[in-house]
């Protein structure tokens, strides 16, 4: 399937200014239907999605009531409906929609997404209508599965605190509980420039009295019965707009797209989709000019032409042109197109002792030919450079010398000498490239005694080069090789390793560099006990900090470090450091605690606390609701119920949640024991 890249669209983050304007009455967005009441609904199957735009502070919830056929309002929820209590719970609730929402609001991290939606009512209300899971996490959605579909209903919503006391504004809205058929996108039209496609379509506006429930669009390309989604984040429907467009790129020209625009409703239901719009990207753009054409005369009176392979995605091959003058008439040399990967051509001109000029063009699959390259000159005179040696090898000997060997290529008749060069690599000032032989040298091996006759530095890198020179001072191409002098001494270990617990999210390690100059990397060892340490990670020598995200809250880990030089010698390990991973954020308070007496026992139940690191619950009792509470259970309770026969019926009870880091939640609302027999 072809890859496509979006260039621009109307993003959620970019229309926040429009949302502000809408709030002032100057523009109406698709999600603003029902804005007079702050309630918006959509029927989906046998359920009704009920959204609201009230601000629900952390720790608060909302109650929802419904009236049908002029009946009394009936409360639909048993306990207040709440959103996420903290960032971890919020990210867990929105799941796969975290990344598209983060991109759509143009934010860099999940933390910034969470704080934006928690602090900005406009952003929260905007995000509410694009993914139901986000609305749930914000405490803005209830799905009514008991309403009578096809009738009229009135919904009432009120925000309550943790004691279920009504706070803030109440909302009320009359609605018709019927499924709405949205309009079909019409008038699809596309234009392109090279591989950039602009798709346009029209879509009617909706009103509060005729709400089609559509909030955004998806665009697909249909190929062989399979749909590929083109846009990666929401394409916002601005309700006052009737004309929409979206710009994306394809990986090549000359292809045919089968484009479909699908409207997306409040419940993420798509449709009805547009008719398939077939569009072909006609390729009338010539490939880029080839640069870097080289012409090299050889000893056989031929000109060898080479050039970089064209990087155009639809390039097919090349044409070569030649002229006797740089401004002369260039004639094509090849009868058939030179294949794309065959970037080599040999020309056999009729006359020697003269100059020729060459140009090259690239041709694509549609027959478009690029402009000619700059002319490259080739002199068929005795300016031919010697052939370079076929190979150069460097070997460190046991006595500290370096043995150089190479193979001869075919020599010109006027071959004179080889020139050998050496350079120590690194940042040592004053050590440039040194010529090893002063006199002519025609052999195939050479022994280098070192820098000024002194042995080479252990572990240092040396580059050797060799060229062939003829009597006309023509120099061959350079052949080079690299040699590192053996190093058998292990480096010093790093020092001052520090381990830190980053609020239960990750472990952070920092250390000081090894004092050895040839360290190539640091080795991080990790284990769940000091006696079971394994290599966990390697870090380049210039980095002396590591973040370990593969940790779990409540576990203890052990870390140690070692340094390894560029030849594989490993230092001794540092002292092992122990690190307990824990966070400092307690779970939310336990809700809906109930205690009932019966059969000489007291049964205590409560609503579960849904956090990923929950470990259990503790029960506290007191003789008065505001008195001193003592813990009832020694071991943590892992269920949401507890039965005991040792409680007086006048006892007051609280339940607290405990996570794996030992953090204990705030106290629950105190409850007294209910005795049905009284």
> pLDDT tens digits for 618-657?
999 999 999 999 999 889 999 999 999 878 889 999 999 9
> pLDDT tens digits for 544-564?
999 999 998 888 999 999 999
d(CA 482, CA 489) in angstroms, rounded, equals 21
- Reply yes or no on whether the pLDDT at 9 is more than 50: no
- State pTM to two decimals: 0.47
- Reply yes or no on whether the pLDDT at 471 is more than 80: no
Confidence of residue 31 (pLDDT cuts 50, 70, 90): very low
- 8 Å CB contact between 595 and 621: no
- Reply yes or no on whether the pLDDT at 429 is more than 90: no
CATH number of 294-379: 2.60.40.10
> pLDDT tens digits for 118-165?
888 888 888 888 889 999 999 999 999 999 998 999 999 999 998 889
- 8 Å CB contact between 82 and 139: yes
User: What is the percentage of the chain residues whose pLDDT exceeds 70?
Assistant: 92
User: Which helix (H) or strand (E) is 261 found in, with range?
Assistant: strand 256-265
> pLDDT tens digits for 379-411?
876 567 889 999 899 999 988 889 999 999 998
Q: Hey, what are 541's tokens?
A: 């020598």
- 8 Å CB contact between 258 and 227: no
3-class secondary structure, 88: helix
d(CA 616, CA 622) in angstroms, rounded, equals 21
Residue 62: phi, psi to the nearest 5?
Answer: -140, 150
- Reply yes or no on whether the pLDDT at 11 is more than 60: no
The answer as to CATH 3.40.220.10 being correct for domain 391-484 is no
Q: Where in the chain is the domain with CATH 2.60.40.10?
A: 4-176, 294-379, 391-484, 495-580, 594-672
- Reply yes or no on whether the pLDDT at 27 is more than 50: no
By C-alpha distance, which of 186, 253, 218 is closest to 9?
A: 218
Average pLDDT over residues 426-440: 76
- Residue 66: its pLDDT value, please? 95
What lies within 8 Å, CB to CB, of 280 at 6+ separation is 254, 255, 256, 257
The answer as to CATH 2.60.40.10 being correct for domain 4-176 is yes
- Residue 538: its pLDDT value, please? 95
CA 207 to chain centre: 39
Average pLDDT over residues 196-224: 90
- Residue 433: its pLDDT value, please? 85
- Reply yes or no on whether the pLDDT at 353 is more than 90: no
Confidence of residue 36 (pLDDT cuts 50, 70, 90): very low
3-class secondary structure, 222: strand
Confidence of residue 474 (pLDDT cuts 50, 70, 90): confident
d(CA 553, CA 660) in angstroms, rounded, equals 6
The answer as to CATH 2.60.40.10 being correct for domain 495-580 is yes
- Reply yes or no on whether the pLDDT at 33 is more than 60: no
- Residue 45: its pLDDT value, please? 87
> pLDDT tens digits for 71-101?
899 999 999 999 998 999 999 999 988 888 8
Average pLDDT over residues 304-325: 93
Query: Average pLDDT, whole number, for the chain?
Result: 87
Q: 594-672: which CATH number, 2.160.10.10, 2.60.40.1760, 2.60.40.10, 3.30.70.20?
A: 2.60.40.10
Average pLDDT over residues 214-221: 94
Confidence of residue 313 (pLDDT cuts 50, 70, 90): confident
């Amino acid at each position: 399937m072809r890859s496509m890249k979006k260039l621009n669209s109307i993003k959620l983050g970019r229309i926040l200014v429009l949302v502000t304007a809408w709030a002032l009455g100057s523009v109406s967005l698709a999600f603003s239907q029902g804005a007079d009441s702050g309630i918006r609904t959509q029927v989906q199957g046998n359920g009704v999605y009920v959204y609201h735009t009230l601000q629900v502070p952390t720790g608060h919830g909302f109650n929802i009531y419904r009236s049908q056929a002029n009946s009394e309002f009936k409360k639909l929820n048993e306990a207040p409906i709440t959103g996420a209590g903290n960032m971890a719970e919020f990210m867990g609730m929105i799941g796969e929609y975290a990344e598209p929402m983060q991109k759509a609001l143009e934010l860099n991290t999940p933390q910034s997404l969470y704080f934006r939606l928690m602090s900005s009512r406009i952003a929260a209300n905007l995000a509410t209508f694009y993914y139901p899971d986000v609305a749930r996490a914000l405490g803005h959605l209830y799905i009514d599965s008991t309403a009578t579909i096809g009738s009229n209903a009135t919904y009432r919503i009120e925000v309550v605190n943790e004691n279920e006391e009504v706070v803030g504004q109440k909302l009320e809205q009359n609605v018709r509980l019927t499924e709405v058929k949205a309009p079909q996108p019409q008038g699809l039209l596309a234009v392109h420039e090279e591989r950039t496609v602009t798709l346009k379509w029209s879509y009617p506006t909706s009103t509060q009295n005729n709400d089609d429930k559509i909030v955004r669009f998806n665009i697909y390309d249909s190929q062989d019965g399979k749909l590929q989604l083109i846009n990666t984040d929401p394409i916002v429907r601005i309700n006052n707009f009737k004309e929409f467009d979206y710009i994306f790129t394809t990986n090549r020209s000359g292809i045919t797209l089968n484009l479909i625009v699908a409207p997306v409703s409040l419940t993420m239901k798509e449709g009805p989709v547009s008719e398939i719009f077939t569009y072909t990207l006609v390729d009338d753009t010539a490939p880029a000019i080839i640069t870097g054409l080289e012409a090299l005369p050889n000893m056989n009176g031929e000109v060898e032409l080479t050039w970089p392979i064209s990087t155009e995605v639809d390039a097919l091959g090349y044409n070569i042109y030649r002229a006797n003058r740089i401004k002369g008439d260039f004639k094509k040399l090849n009868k058939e197109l030179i294949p794309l990967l065959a970037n080599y051509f040999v020309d056999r001109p009729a006359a020697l002792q003269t100059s020729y000029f060459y140009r090259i063009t690239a041709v694509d699959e549609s027959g478009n030919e690029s402009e000619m390259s700059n002319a490259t000159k080739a002199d068929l005179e005795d300016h031919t450079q010697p052939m370079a040696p076929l190979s150069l090898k460097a070997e460190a000997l046991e006595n500290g010398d370096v043995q150089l060997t190479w193979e001869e290529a075919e020599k010109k008749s006027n071959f004179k000498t080889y020139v050998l060069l050496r350079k120590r690599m690194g940042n040592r000032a004053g050590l440039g490239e040194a010529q090893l032989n002063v006199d002519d040298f025609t052999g195939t091996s050479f022994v280098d005694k070192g820098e000024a006759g002194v042995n080479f530095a252990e572990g240092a890198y040396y580059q050797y080069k060799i060229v062939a020179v003829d009597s006309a001072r023509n120099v061959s191409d350079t052949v080079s090789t690299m040699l590192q002098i053996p190093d058998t001494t292990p480096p010093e270990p790093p020092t001052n390793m520090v381990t830190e617990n980053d609020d239960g999210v990750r472990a952070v390690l920092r250390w000081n560099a090894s004092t050895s100059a040839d360290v190539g990397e640091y080795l991080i060892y990790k284990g769940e006990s000091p006696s079971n340490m394994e290599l966990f990670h390697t870090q380049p020598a210039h980095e002396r900090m590591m973040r370990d995200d593969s940790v779990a809250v409540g576990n203890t880990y052990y870390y140690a470090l070692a340094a390894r030089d560029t030849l594989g010698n490993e230092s001794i390990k540092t002292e092992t450091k122990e690190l307990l991973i824990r966070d400092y954020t307690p779970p939310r308070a336990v809700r809906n605690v109930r205690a009932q007496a019966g059969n000489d026992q007291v049964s205590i139940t409560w609503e579960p606390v849904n956090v990923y690191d929950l470990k259990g619950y503790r029960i506290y009792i007191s003789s008065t609701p505001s008195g001193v509470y003592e813990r009832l259970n020694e071991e943590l309770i892992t269920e949401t119920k507890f039965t005991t026969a040792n409680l007086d019926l006048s006892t007051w009870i609280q339940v607290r949640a405990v996570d794996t880091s030992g953090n204990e939640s705030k106290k629950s609302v105190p409850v007294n024991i209910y005795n049905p027999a009284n």
